[in-house]
Amino acid sequence: MFSEIMAAKKEEFKDEKEVFLDHIQKSGLRRTAQRDLILDIFLRTEDHLSSEDLYWLVQKEDPSIGHTTVYRTLKLLTEAGLAREVRFGDGKTYYEHHYDHAHHDHMICTECGKVIEFFSAEIEELQDEMAEKFGFKPTHHSLRLLGICAECQNKEKDLSSAASGAQPRIRVKTVFGN
């Protein structure tokens, strides 16, 4: 039973690992235990992570891995098509899973930093129509709505009578909507 679970775990992210290994070899690099661990933690974390965020997760499992290694590995993951860079307007670059993940866009709450993922076939179609109209050949896009999430709107209503010292901040936290 236990070994079955272990076997199933071993197969986890098999494709992703092959893609990475392939990319590393093509880039003339060597496979290292550090890169393997970073890849593993990245794949296990279904979230939008900055290189700093990933660095702290990696630190918990191997404190000897430096920030530069994490950053460079993220770049490799992006080149290999396993990760995708996303920006949410706070000046930072975040990374999310890209391989075998359906395209989606983001709504970002500027109060609490919540990120809502969404997909609309109609919006996608309209974007393509617009591009065509301008003879533009889109290669990729990232649609971003900034605003206040439902929860924060409710909080604002509750606080409207009391003076609020809360500072607007962006701390990205993912919510997987649909």
Q: Which residues bind Zn ion (CB under 5 A)?
A: 96, 105, 109, 111-112, 114, 117, 143, 149, 152
Instruction: Round the CA-based radius of gyration of the chain to a whole number and report it.
Output: 20
Residue closer to Zn ion by CB (options 24, 86) is 86
Q: The sheet that has 93-97: what strands, in order across it?
A: 49-50, 93-97, 83-87
Residue closer to Zn ion by CB (options 34, 127) is 127
Apex CA 68: angle with CA 16 and CA 46, to 5°? 35
Find the shortest distance in angstroms from Cβ 149 to Zn ion.
Answer: 3
Helix (H, G, I), strand (E, B) or coil at 51: helix
Q: For the CB of residue 76, give the shortest distance to Zn ion in the complex, in Å.
A: 20
Which one, 149 or 170, has the nearer CB to Zn ion? 149
Q: Closest separation between CB of residue 50 and Zn ion, Å?
A: 13
CB 116 within 8 A of CB 106: yes
Report the distance separating Cα 25 and Cα 21, nearest Å.
Answer: 6
When the beta carbons of 70 and 108 are compared against Zn ion, the nearer one is: 108
Taking the complex as a whole, how short is the minimal distance between the CB of residue 47 and Zn ion, in angstroms? 9
d(CA 20, CA 73): 10
